[in-house]
C-alpha cells in the first residue's frame, strides 16, 4: 500500500456509507490478470472483482468495443429498440435453453425479474394461486428486498425485517427436503448450481436432475441463479450444463457477462415469458447499448479464445495445486468448486482467514472469502497455469509465514 492509497482510504472513510470494509488499496489500472495500485505495485488478481472480470483487465477487444459504442450511442431507453441488446439476447438464447431475455443492471435485479416473472406466470397464465418460493440454506441471491428474502443466510437479514413473505428455506443438496417443502402454494424452486457466497459448495451430480424431475412432477418452475457460476466460470457456458438434462425454466446471469460493465440478464422459456405483458416489468438502464455491446464482446472473446475450455483445463490444474497445499498445511481442509470458481476450506479451529487474505495481499495476491470457512479464488478466465503457479507460491509462503 502506497501513501497515495492510504490518502484515498482516509477520504473514503469520511464520505462513503459504512457498509463496506475495503482494503486500503485504490487500484488505478489493470492488465490481464494483474492490477496496479497508485504506487505501481502489482497484484495477481484471483478475485476478479468477485468473479466479474472474465476477460481480465484491459482486454483489447472489450476496451475497443466499449470505446466504439460510447462514441456511437450510450442509452436510448426501452421505449425504443437497440441492435446490441437484440443481438445479445439472440446470442444468449443460442447458447442456452432459453427463448427470451430480459436485461437489467445487476445480479439482484436479474433475480427480482426471475421471481416476479415466476409469480406472475403462475397467477395470470396458469391461473393458479401459487406464490411461494423454495430456496436453499446458505444461498445468496443479492441485496434488494426479495433477493435478501430468498437468501438463506440470516446475517443478510439483520435489521431489515419484515422480509418479503413467501420464502421457505431447506438444506442445499437435499432433494427430500425440497420434496417436503413444495406444496400447492409453491410457484418455483430457486437454486444456485454451485453455491458461491455460501462457501463454494458443489452439490452431488444427481441434485439438479433430481430438482428438474421434482419440479416437473409437482408443477412448479425451476430457477437457476447463475449470476456467479455463469458465462464460462466453471468450464461450461453455464454451470448447470455439467448436469445433462437439468435445464431450468428461468436462469439469471450478471457478473462475468459484462466483463466489468454492469449488466444482468434473466433468461426464460417462451412458455414462462407469457407471464410478462407490456408494462409488467421494466428497467430504465436495462439493455442499454453500452452494456449489451460489452456483453456481446465478452461472449465473442470467450468463444474465439476457447475460454470455457481454458477455465476447465486451468481450473483443474488450480484444483490440483490447491489440493497439494491442503496436503502440506494443517490449516487447510479441502478444495471445493469447479473450473475457475474455487474454494479453499480452512480449519475452523484457530485459523483466521482474514489474516491469510491480508498476508497474501501483502505478497501481491488478491482473493476473497466465502461462507463461514472458505477462501475463494475466482481469477479471470484468461489465466494460464503460470499464473496459478505464482498464486500457489504466494499462498504457500503466506501460510508458512503464518505458521499454518
Ligand X SMILES: Cc1ncc(COP(=O)(O)O)c(C=O)c1O
**Residue 230 binding ligand X, by CB under 6 A:** no
Instruction: List the catalytic residue out of 5, 37, 45, 225.
Output: 225
Q: Give the 3-state secondary structure of 349-388.
A: CCCCHHHHHHHHHHCCEECEEECCCEEEECCCCCCCHHHH
Nearer to ligand X, 196 or 260 (CB): 196
| 225 catalytic residue (yes or no) | yes
In order, the DSSP letters of 253-300 are E-GGGGTTS--EEEEE-HHHHTT--TTSS--SSTT-HHHHHHHHHHHH
CB atoms < 10 A from the CB of 385, how many? 12
Q: Please state the closest distance from residue 106 (CB atom) to ligand X, in A.
A: 4
Q: Which of 100, 141, 169, 342 binds ligand X (CB under 6 A)?
A: 141
For residue 50, give the H/E element and its range. Answer: helix 48-51
Work out how close the CB of 12 gets to ligand X at its nearest, in angstroms, rounded to a whole number: 20
Query: In this chain, which stretch among 27-35, 55-63, 139-147, 235-243 interacts with ligand X, using CB under 6 A?
Result: 139-147
One of 34, 43, 133, 140 touching ligand X (CB under 6 A): 140
- Of 113, 227, 243, 344, the one binding ligand X (CB under 6 A) is 227
Stretch that binds ligand X, among 30-38, 58-66, 95-103, 140-148 (CB under 6 A): 140-148
Find the binder of ligand X among 32, 49, 84, 107 (CB under 6 A): 107
Say whether 255 is catalytic.
yes
Stretch that binds ligand X, among 222-230, 308-316, 321-329, 347-355 (CB under 6 A): 222-230
Query: Which residues touch 242 (CB under 8 Å, ≥6 apart)?
Result: 193, 205, 234, 235, 236, 338
Please report whether residue 377 would count as binding ligand X according to CB under 6 A: no
Ordered DSSP codes for 94-163: HHSS-SEEEEESSHHHHHHHHHHHHHHIIIIIS-----EEEEEBT----SSHHHHHH-B-GGGTTT-PSP
Residue span binding ligand X (CB under 6 A) among the ranges 2-10, 190-198, 283-291, 325-333: 190-198
Catalytic residue among 255, 276, 351, 373: 255
Phi and psi angles of residue 265, each rounded to the nearest 5 degrees, phi first: -140, 140
Q: CB of 104 within 8 A of CB of 140?
A: no
Integer Cα distance of 105 and 290 in angstroms: 11
Nearer to ligand X, 117 or 398 (CB): 117
Per-position b or e across 301-329, b if 16+ CB within 10 A of its CB = bbeeeebbebbbbbbebbbebbeebbeeb
CB 294 within 8 A of CB 103: no
Q: Does 149 bind ligand X (CB under 6 A)?
A: no
Task: Determine the Cα–Cα distance for residues 150 and 118; give it in Å rounded to an integer.
Answer: 14
> Which range in 74-82, 137-145, 176-184, 385-393 contacts ligand X by CB under 6 A?
137-145
Q: Note whether 190 and 134 are within 8 A (CB).
A: yes
197 binds ligand X (CB under 6 A): yes
Report, in Å, the least distance between residue 300 CB and ligand X. 22
> Quick check: 254 binds ligand X (CB under 6 A)?
yes
Sign, CA dihedral 107-112-113-114, equals: positive
CB of 142 to ligand X, least distance (A): 3
Residue 150 CB, shortest distance to ligand X, in Å, is 9
Q: Indicate the residue among 1 and 50 with the shorter CB distance to ligand X.
A: 50
The helix/strand/coil state of 59 is: coil
Q: Considering the rule CB under 6 A, would residue 37 count as an interface residue with ligand X? A: no
CA distances from 210 to 180, 216, 272, 368 (A): 14, 10, 21, 31
Taking the least distance from each CB to ligand X, the nearer of 113 and 382 is: 113
C-beta of 36 vs 145, nearer to ligand X: 145
CB of 329 to ligand X, least distance (A): 27
Cell matching residue 237: 457456458
Shortest Å distance, C-beta 399 to ligand X: 26
Among 49, 84, 104, 196, interactor with ligand X by CB under 6 A: 196
Query: Residues, the chain, total?
Result: 404
Q: Which residue of this chain has its Cβ atom nearest to ligand X in the complex?
A: 107
Q: Which is nearer to ligand X, 37 or 197 (CB)?
A: 197
Say how far apart CA 117 and CA 222 lie, in whole Å: 12
- Closer to ligand X by Cβ: residue 133 or 140: 140
The residues of the shown chain that bind ligand X, judged by CB under 6 A, are 50, 106-108, 111, 140-142, 192, 196-197, 225, 227-228, 254
- Known catalytic residues are 140, 225, 255
Amino acid at each position: 500500500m502506497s501513501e497515495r492509497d492510504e490518502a484515498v482510504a482516509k477520504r473514503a472513510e469520511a464520505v462513503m456509507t459504512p457498509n463496506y470494509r475495503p482494503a486500503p488499496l485504490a487500484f488505478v489500472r489493470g492488465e490481464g490478470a494483474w492490477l496496479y495500485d497508485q504506487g505501481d505495485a502489482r497484484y495477481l488478481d484471483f478475485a476478479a472483482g468477485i468473479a466479474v472480470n472474465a476477460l481480465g483487465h484491459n482486454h483489447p477487444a472489450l476496451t475497443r468495443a466499449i470505446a466504439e459504442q460510447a462514441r456511437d450511442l450510450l442509452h436510448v431507453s426501452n421505449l425504443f429498440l437497440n441492435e446490441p441488446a437484440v443481438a445479445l439476447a439472440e446470442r444468449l438464447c443460442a447458447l442456452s435453453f432459453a427463448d427470451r431475455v430480459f436485461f437489467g443492471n445487476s445480479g439482484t435485479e436479474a433475480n427480482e425479474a426471475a421471481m416476479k416473472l415466476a409469480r406472475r406466470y403462475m397467477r395470470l397464465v396458469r391461473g393458479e394461486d401459487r406464490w411461494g418460493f423454495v430456496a436453499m440454506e446458505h444461498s445468496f441471491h443479492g441485496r434488494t428486498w426479495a433477493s435478501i428474502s430468498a437468501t438463506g443466510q440470516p446475517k443478510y437479514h439483520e435489521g431489515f425485517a419484515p422480509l418479503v413473505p413467501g420464502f421457505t428455506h431447506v438444506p442445499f443438496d437435499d432433494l427430500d427436503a425440497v420434496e417436503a417443502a413444495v406444496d400447492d402454494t409453491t410457484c418455483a424452486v430457486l437454486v444456485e448450481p454451485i453455491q458461491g457466497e455460501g462457501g463454494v459448495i458443489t452439490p452431488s451430480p444427481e441434485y439438479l436432475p433430481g430438482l428438474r424431475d421434482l419440479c416437473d412432477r409437482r408443477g412448479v418452475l425451476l430457477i437457476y441463479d447463475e449470476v456467479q457460476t455463469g458465462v464460462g466460470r466453471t468450464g461450461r457456458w453455464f454451470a448447470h450444463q455439467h448436469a445433462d438434462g437439468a435445464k431450468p425454466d428461468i436462469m439469471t446471469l450478471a457478473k462475468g457477462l459484462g466483463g466489468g460493465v454492469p449488466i444482468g440478464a434473466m433468461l426464460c422459456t417462451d412458455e414462462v415469458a407469457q407471464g410478462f405483458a407490456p408494462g409488467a416489468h421494466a428497467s430504465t438502464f436495462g439493455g442499454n447499448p453500452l452494456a449489451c455491446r460489452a456483453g456481446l464482446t465478452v461472449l465473442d472473446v470467450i468463444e474465439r479464445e476457447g475460454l470455457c475450455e481454458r477455465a476447465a483445463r486451468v481450473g483443474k490444474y488450480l484444483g490440483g495445486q490447491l489440493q497439494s497445499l491442503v496436503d502440506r498445511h494443517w490449516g487447510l481442509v479441502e478444495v471445493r468448486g469447479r473450473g475457475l470458481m474455487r474454494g479453499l476450506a480452512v480449519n475452523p479451529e484457530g485459523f483466521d482467514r482474514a489474516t491469510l487474505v491480508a498476508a497474501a495481499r501483502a505478497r501481491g495476491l488478491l482473493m476473497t472469502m466465502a461462507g463461514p470457512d472458505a477462501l475463494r479464488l475466482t481469477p479471470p478466465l484468461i489465466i494460464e497455469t503460470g499464473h496459478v503457479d505464482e498464486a500457489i507460491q504466494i499462498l504457500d509462503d503466506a501460510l508458512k509465514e503464518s505458521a499454518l
